[in-house]
A and B are shown apart, each in its own frame.
Chain A
Amino acid sequence: MTSAAEIVTQVERDDVRARWLLSAPALLIIFFAAIGPLFVMLAYSVMVKGDYGDVRFGELSLDGWFSVLFQRDIFDDTIGLADAHLSIFWRSVKLSLITTLVTLALGFPTAYFIATRPPHTREVWVFLVTIPFWTNLLIRTFAMQEVIRNEGILNTLMIRLGVIDQPIQLMYTDAAILFGMVYVYLPLMVLPLYASMEKLDFRLVEAGYDLYATRLRVLWRIIIPLVRPGIVAGSILVFIPSLGAYVIPRVLGGGKSMMLGNLIELQFGAGRNWPLGAAISITLMAMVMLALLVYVRNAARSGAQHG
């Protein structure tokens, strides 16, 4: 005889098992396609590099991790900071931060504009924002090149108008990379900003004006705190892909101004140093995690304020 309690535990156990079974396909995919490769990367980063790329399996070495930050001088074997890598890290973080700030400055008014249109036209505006996604990133980047090259549209136009008499060197500069990234990632800022502005209760804005608040004060004390989750989400969405950008610095930076994505590619290609490439990739991921942690903490705090 089975007691009622045993039946209950049996049912509960079945229930738990059913849940695990139902989620098993998704969990398996996550494990093999998302977490598994990370372990491969981790394993590669602690092995000895092969002569022509790849690694020597089973031979462990921390050289890859060592050379992320340090280097032995080629000529006298003294150990120093790897300033090549540090300058690339710094350029990546700097350009990504500037990209985030510029897209925020451009995206905020855009999102505000869309959110204040009559409801039936908003969809059209949002639709317009998503149009660039229809074209492949690579093609858009090459199109950008046609705009800013020395004999490109921008320089030709400015010379014709008499603004300048020599073409300005835009291609292959940090400014070109920045220009490209702002253009490509702007929609990623506008959409989350719009999503939180759409929920904004504009009666609160009116109330602010009724209480004699200036426009700046309304913006600062009412609008920004309320759309803050959108600002944070947009910034994260722009900052993370900027940090790992590959195509844009490759095409617009001319292979001379590298970012992290290009440094990693170099190690897996001509550099033939896969362990270092793997170690830098993991470092990049750690930086992204850090950015996400800031986001989560911020989200928690804003949740506490309004919830």
Chain B
Amino acid sequence: MRQKLRTATAATALLAFAGMAHADGELNIYNWGDYTSPELIKKFEQAHNVKVTITDYDSNDTALAKVRAGGHGFDIVVPSANYVPIWVKEGLLLEARPDQMENFKNVDPRWVDVHWDPGRHYSVPWQWGVTGIGVNTKVYGGDINTSAIFLDPPAELVGKINVAPEMNDVLYATIKYFGGDWCTDDKELLRKVRDKLVEAKTKWLAMDYSVTDKLPAGDYSAVYYWNGAIMRSRLANQDIKFGYPKEGYPIFMDSVAILKDAKNVENAKLFMNFIMDPENAAMVSAFAKYANGIKGSEQFMPEDMKTAPELVVPAEFEKAGEFLEACSPEVVDLYSRIWTDVQK
């Protein structure tokens, strides 16, 4: 009896000690909602003895506004490509030099000299994808490889469409729909873009997030949204199909960066290096279903992702995809005024 008691006490003490040891490092990640693999975090926590906390945001602007306000306590943020230069310019990011880290050799050369962070002095690839069309084929059986699905919707889809509330993605598709180029300031064309969006919006149901739950459930029958979310919807409902708008669709990449006022810089750097490991990058993708920018991660990916129509761009649509560059402030101002007109 006494022996048992002593063992129990020892075990308790050991547990308490383990608990303490576990909490000796911290890392606070501020990332898009529904985007961070819990298995990846668990693996990182165990490998480096760090307690990770994740906080969600739903838009680049929310993240920017919150961090600028200060007192946030975050170490890592995951902004989209066109926002990275803003974060840098506003002096919010730490020049962490990931290009000198051990695992940097794994980064696909395509994602090294990127226009938003030449040479990768601030950020490392997290995930990239495209914005495209998702349609419930039970409701509509026609051609879905076109932006007309949400700009000139077929009668079956009117009133059942959700469009991502992202200014750049929506304006890009519409400008391309009228044959213009990104960052154009051609007023005639932009007037057509504005009028089309204002008219099309009356045929939409919502401009919202949380597609992974509402598209399979039938709340939406069509979406203009990100490919990973649409793939997850298809896995939940086989009637969902993905379409690449042939007129033009945006490619995006979100990158992991460290904040200048981070309190756990060393752990944040460990995390940066950690996700550039192919096996870990595959975990990132396996959860949110977007491609990552790490060479050799494919072999660790789940089988269904290697052939997924949402991720493997068909040759005929490859040319239609484009990375959105940051436009000049005058053009951004013009675009955001059009966007306010659309959002009213």
A contacts, CB < 8 Å to B:
51-54, 74-75, 83-85, 87-88, 149-151, 169, 171-172, 254-256, 258, 266, 268-272
Query: Provided the pairs A151-B218, A151-B219, A171-B219 are in contact, do residues A88 and B344 lie with their beta carbons within 8 angstroms?
Result: yes
**Chain B, interface SS category:** helix
**Candidates A52, A169, A270; contact of B159 at CB < 8 Å:** A169
Of B7-15, B61-69, B97-105, B271-279, the one contacting chain A is B61-69
B-side contacts of A169, CB under 8 Å: 159, 205
Using A52-B64, A54-B68 as known contacts, list a sample of 9 further A-B pairs with CB atoms less than 8 Å apart, ordered by residue number in A: A51-B329, A74-B334, A74-B341, A151-B217, A171-B205, A254-B162, A256-B206, A271-B336, A272-B61
Q: Which residue of A lies closest to B340 (CB)?
A: A271
Q: Which residue of B lies closest to A276 (CB)?
A: B340
Q: Is the CB of A84 within 8 A of B90?
A: no
Report if B343 contacts A (CB, 8 A): yes
Q: Is the CB of B64 within 8 A of A172?
A: no
Bound CA span A93–B81, Å: 40
B-side contacts of A268, CB under 8 Å: 65
Q: Which residue of B lies closest to A88 (CB)?
A: B344
Interface size class on chain B is 35 or more
Q: Is the CB of B86 within 8 A of A255?
A: no
Of B186-194, B261-269, B286-294, the one contacting chain A is B186-194
Per-residue interface assignment for chain B, residues 192 to 205, with 1 indicating a CB less than 8 Å from any chain A CB and 0 otherwise:
00100000010011
Q: Is the CB of A255 within 8 A of B337?
A: no
Bound CA span A75–B186, Å: 10
Bound CA span A83–B344, Å: 9
Report if B338 contacts A (CB, 8 A): yes
Q: Is the CB of B217 within 8 A of A149?
A: yes
Q: Is the CB of B341 within 8 A of A269?
A: no
Query: Provided the pairs A149-B219, A255-B165 are in contact, do residues A74 and B338 lie with their beta carbons within 8 angstroms?
Result: yes
Q: Is the CB of B217 within 8 A of A269?
A: no
Q: Is the CB of A84 within 8 A of B334?
A: no
For residue A61, give the distance in angstroms from its CB to the closest CB of chain B. Answer: 15
Can you offer 26 A-B residue contacts whose CB atoms are under 8 A? A52-B64, A52-B86, A52-B90, A53-B64, A54-B68, A74-B191, A74-B194, A74-B338, A75-B191, A88-B344, A150-B217, A151-B218, A151-B219, A171-B219, A254-B206, A254-B207, A254-B208, A255-B206, A255-B207, A256-B204, A256-B205, A268-B65, A269-B62, A270-B61, A270-B165, A271-B340
Q: Which residue of A lies closest to B188 (CB)?
A: A75
For residue B204, give the distance in angstroms from its CB to the closest CB of chain A. Answer: 7
Report if B145 contacts A (CB, 8 A): no
Q: Is the CB of B344 within 8 A of A269?
A: no
Report, nearest first, the 10 A-B pairs whose CB atoms are least far apart. Answer: A254-B206, A84-B344, A270-B61, A269-B61, A255-B207, A172-B206, A255-B208, A74-B337, A75-B187, A254-B208
For residue B329, give the distance in angstroms from its CB to the closest CB of chain A. Answer: 6
**Chain A, interface SS category:** loop
For residue A184, give the distance in angstroms from its CB to the closest CB of chain B. Answer: 20
Bound CA span A151–B337, Å: 36
Q: Is the CB of A258 within 8 A of B206?
A: no
Bound CA span A10–B289, Å: 79
Q: Which residue of A lies closest to B58 (CB)?
A: A269
Q: Is the CB of B344 within 8 A of A87?
A: yes
For residue A90, give the distance in angstroms from its CB to the closest CB of chain B. Answer: 11
- Central interface residue in B159, B334, B343, by most chain A CB within 10 Å: B343
B-side contacts of A83, CB under 8 Å: 344
Q: Is the CB of A256 within 8 A of B201?
A: yes
For residue B269, give the distance in angstroms from its CB to the closest CB of chain A. Answer: 26
For residue A60, give the distance in angstroms from its CB to the closest CB of chain B. Answer: 20
B-side contacts of A272, CB under 8 Å: 61, 336
Q: Is the CB of B207 within 8 A of A53?
A: no
B-side contacts of A149, CB under 8 Å: 214, 217, 219
For residue A164, give the distance in angstroms from its CB to the closest CB of chain B. Answer: 15
A-side contacts of B68, CB under 8 Å: 52-54
